[in-house]
Amino acid sequence: MKTFTFLLLFLLTCNASFANDNKVCQKCHPLIYKEYYNSIHRKSSLVNDKIYKAVFEKEHKNREKSNCKACHSPSAKTPQEAKETPISCIYCHTIRDVQEGDKVNKNILTGKKKDFYTAQADKKNESKVKYGTTTSFFGLIKQSKNSPYHQIEYNNENYYNGNVCMGCHSHVNNKNGFDIIMLDAYIDKKDKHTCISCHMPQIMGSKTTLRDSKTHAYHGIAGVHTMSQSLGKYIKIAVKKEKNGLSVKITNKANHALFGQAYREGVLHVSITRANKTTLLKPYIFTRVFGNNRTESMPFVADKVLKDTLIYANKEIKYTLKLQKGDKVTVTLGFRLISKKAAKELELQNDDELSRFKVLKTVSFQL
């Protein structure tokens, strides 16, 4: 009786409250909702994202002509929705397919608010799974099966190979046909790593209150904003002593270049500790410098790359300081959301958090 009353109240609440779709989802998925609320997906609009807002205002004089909101706030019809639900749960879970385009890709939605896609390997062949209950011990114990609010489809391949992310996280070509995002992740069926497996890893905690599960896909979006160091496992760092110095080799196991997004930069710090004295070597910067007519420019007017020091599959950096036996070499790879130079260009130089150095991985080697 208690279970029935709860479900009745739940369904009545759902039908009466569509002002905030995500709040409906929160009732059964509180842990996932909490992660989402602190994620960049919830903070992607002009209201919440300082870098996006600065770029947008510098690039676009007439906001109505911009297509940026197609990815930054596709669910927002009001200023309040732009703040609270710019990319809603329903939006992401109703992407049926991704249409590839020359300038940008486009998400193709089902248009159905109660028919969702998701991924679960043991149910991959199931379609339109509906709510039900199971009983045991002569009907004394009842257990909910699936959702009382929406149907679930587990057989959309896009949610397994990571292609569902490529509607927004692929490429954005500027007016000169120049890609300023460069996240065309290569989706290879033989590669066990995908956008989802890396950036939405399985972590402890039940995905729903209706039925216990040990783990759920992390909806805070692991990456440059949260859980940065968890992505360090996809980066291998090795140090080699050479005749005229040392080299640091970085192997990138991700399926896209590191730090390729516009304005971002990676930073490599190397220090040598010898006889209790530590020497810091000059930081190495990983970046793309954009240009127009051979002059450095902002990304949205660029037509070429003047400099590219990004990490693709492998990157080797050489230093002239000679190593000795007993030396301890410490290597730290990290990044800044926006370079200090770009922050000044966008008038964000007073926001220290945006250009703060964040660590991806630190390793030490004893010679």
What's the distance, CA 300 to chain centroid? 22
- Output phi, psi for 252, to 5 deg: -100, 115
- Where helices occur in the chain by DSSP H, the ranges are 2-16, 21-26, 30-37, 50-59, 69-72, 79-84, 89-93, 158-161, 195-199, 340-345
Q: Would you list the DSSP string of 33-77?
A: HHHHHTSTTTT-STTT-HHHHHHHHHH-S-GGG--THHHHSTT-S
Q: Under 8 Å CB-to-CB from 307, ≥6 apart: which residues?
A: 287, 288, 289
> Taking phi first (over 0 means left), then psi (-120 to 50 degrees means alpha), and beta for anything else, what does residue 230 get?
alpha
First to last CA, the chain: 69
**All structural domains of the chain:** 2-37+88-217 (no CATH), 228-366 (2.60.40)
- Radius of gyration of the chain from its Cα atoms, rounded to whole angstroms: 24
Q: What is residue 14's predicted lDDT score, i.e. its pLDDT?
A: 43
104/292 Cα distance (integer angstroms): 21
Measure Cα distances from 180 to 60, 109, 318, 322, 357 in Å: 16, 25, 28, 39, 22
Decide if 243 contacts 230 (C-beta within 8 A).
no
Confidence at residue 127, expressed as pLDDT on a 0 to 100 scale: 77
Write out the chain's pLDDT in tens, 367 residues. Answer: 444 444 444 444 444 344 466 788 998 999 999 999 999 999 999 999 999 999 888 877 544 456 789 999 999 999 999 999 999 999 999 999 999 998 999 999 999 888 999 998 888 887 777 665 565 555 555 565 667 788 889 999 999 988 999 999 998 888 888 888 877 666 555 677 888 999 999 999 999 988 888 999 999 999 999 999 889 999 999 999 998 899 999 999 888 889 988 889 999 999 999 998 999 999 999 999 999 988 998 888 899 899 999 998 899 999 999 999 999 999 999 999 999 989 998 999 999 889 899 999 999 999 8
Torsion of CA 48, 51, 52, 57, to 10 degrees: 110
Q: Show the tokens assigned to 126.
A: 């199931």
CA-wise closest residue to 266 among 283, 247, 249: 283
- pLDDT confidence of residue 11: 44
Measured in whole angstroms, the distance separating CA 296 from the mean position of its chain's CA atoms is 28
DSSP class of 14: H
Separation CA 257–CA 74 (nearest Å): 27
Question: Looking at residue 199, what is its pLDDT?
Answer: 94
Q: Are 238 and 291 in contact (CB under 8 A)?
A: no
Query: How many Cβ atoms sit within 10 Å of the Cβ of residue 129?
Result: 18
Give CA–CA dist 24/329, Å, rounded.
52
- 4: Cβ contacts below 8 Å, ≥ 6 apart: none
